Each structure stands twice: as C-alpha cells, then as structure tokens.
Amino acid sequence: MSDYKGAAKMLAAFPKAKTLWADKGYDADWFRDALAPRKITACIPSRANRKIVIPHDPTLYKKRHKIENMYSRRKDWRRIHTRYDRCAHTYFSSICIAAAVIFWM
C-alpha cells in the first residue's frame, strides 16, 4: 500500500500543526486538499512525473533529516526493531525509553 493511503486513514487523528513535512511518497493533490481545511501547510516536494511542480520550502525540508535519523537510530534497538513485546503499551514504553536514551546520547 502506498504511504499516503495509510496517511489518509490517520488524517482525522493528526495533531494540530502548522506544517507537515513529508517525502515525495505523500505528494497527491487530494492529500494536500485534505490538509488545507485543517490549516496545515504541506512541505512536500513534487514527484518527478508531476506535470505542474508545486513549490515547497527547501530550507524547511532539509530539517526533516533529523526525524529520519531518529527512526534509523531507533531501529538499532533490536527489541523495537523486531517488536518482541506482545502488548501495545509495553511496546510503546520501549519506544519511549529508547527515544530518551537516544536523545541524551
């Protein structure tokens, strides 16, 4: 399944935000239109096959690498990467502990 189709299912649960940083996988007109009533600005680069290129803020988009780095560091933790925990609340607790340790490193 495509990334933005999964995001469409979670759209109602999005927190209040001013800007949404996303990669080219989320570039769809209907997704941008769904963000507009919530007053969320999309910082999504256009796909290569888009006829009309939609501009985005490249300076703001460069900050997205910090989020990507956090996900890649989190996967270094085997317990989280393979999801050993049975319960969702235990798994979420493991993620929080890992995030706190990664933050302090």
Dist CA 17 CA 39 (whole Å): 8
pLDDT at 1 over 70: no
What is the model's pTM?
0.65
The pLDDT tens digits of the residues spanning 50-100 come to 899 999 888 888 888 877 777 777 777 777 777 777 788 888 888 888 888
Q: Could you tell me the CA-to-CA distances from 55 to 42, 47, 50, 69 in Å, in that order? A: 10, 11, 12, 25
Q: Can you give the residue ranges of every domain in the chain? A: 3-58, 65-104
